[in-house]
Amino acid sequence: MAPLVVLISGCSTGIGLALAVRLAQDPDKKYLVYATMRNLAKKEAIEKAAGDALDKTLFVRQLDVTVDDQVKTIFEFIMGKHGRVDVLVNNAGFGFFGALEAMSMEKAKNMFDTNYFGTVRLIRAALPIMKKQKSGRIVNISSVVGHLALPYMDMYNASKFAMEGLSESLLPQLKNFGISISTVQPGPVATNFGEALAANASTEEDNKDVSEETVKQMTAFRLLLHKPDLFAAQQTEPVIDVIVECVEADKPKLRYPTSDSVRSWVAKRYRKEGVTGLESLFE
């Protein structure tokens, strides 16, 4: 069978990098992987990790998911070379921690432009191709917070809820075309995501108009997030196992939580009628 052509966004680090390398190093060479990133100056890490697979089954290309022209260019390039796109993994994304009133509208819009509209842009480009092929697999890297909103991550939660809604809405529309769509829902994962989140968190300057009580509550919640028994980060490889399971399933499910903790948090959330205090979210 011809190898499946895979496009992954956000491969400079973390989940995207590890997934691209795992698929490209498949012993049966089942995949040709386009590992994309917005800043090619960061390509050394994936090139090193890819080893012999580089330029054989793994190809590094530029893609900023917020730039329409770059989306057009990468799909045209892949179609020109292979005439098909079999698997699309929407992975690019970032988080924000802070009070909503301290998040500038510019940052809020940029978050949606990346986490949600980035996904929309790539799916829109993939659908005409996949519908013509009568096959395709779309995998959206969502989060536990696509179901269970965490305080002070409002826009990030909302972007992942939107991704979940989009996926659920498209699923029945795509079934007759042989196209599957799934979300993968990790809890905390040991990648650069936490660092990026900290770098992106609201500053004292952002918080200057935020009430003292809010800052106090937010600080207490941030400490709660650092309790290792509550939020022990999952390693990347088990998350990649789940994504590969989704990519290779005969009949992919709509949702793939990546750990028992995620499954139990989500189950608890739905068992609760009303959530009152911040701590009670994790009881």
**Least distance from ligand NAP to the Cβ atom of residue 264, Å:** 16
Among 6, 46, 141, 266, binds ligand NAP (CB under 6 A): 141
**Least distance from ligand NAP to the Cβ atom of residue 106, Å:** 14
Q: Which span sits near ligand NAP by CB under 6 A: 80-88, 189-197, 208-216, 223-231?
A: 189-197
Q: Vertex 141, ends 138 and 143: CA angle to 5°?
A: 140
CA distance 270 to 147: 9
135 binds ligand NAP (CB under 6 A): no
**Least distance from ligand NAP to the Cβ atom of residue 176, Å:** 29
Residue corresponding to tokens 């972007």: 159
Among 8, 13, 50, 75, binds ligand NAP (CB under 6 A): 13
Active site residue 31: no
Q: Which span sits near ligand NAP by CB under 6 A: 36-44, 166-174, 241-249, 265-273?
A: 36-44
Report the site for ligand NAP in 77-116 (rule: CB under 6 A): 91-94, 114
CA distance 174 to 210: 45
Q: 115 or 207, CB closer to ligand NAP? A: 115
CA distance 21 to 9: 13
Let me know: does 243 contact 89? Beta carbons within 8 Å: yes
Residue, CB closest to ligand NAP: 14
Q: 196 or 244, CB closer to ligand NAP? A: 196
Per-residue binding letters, 37-76, with ligand NAP (x by CB under 6 A): xxx--x---------------------xxx----------
Active site residues: 156
Q: Which residues bind ligand NAP (CB under 6 A)?
A: 9-10, 12-16, 37-39, 42, 64-66, 91-94, 114, 118, 141, 143, 186, 188-189, 191-193, 196
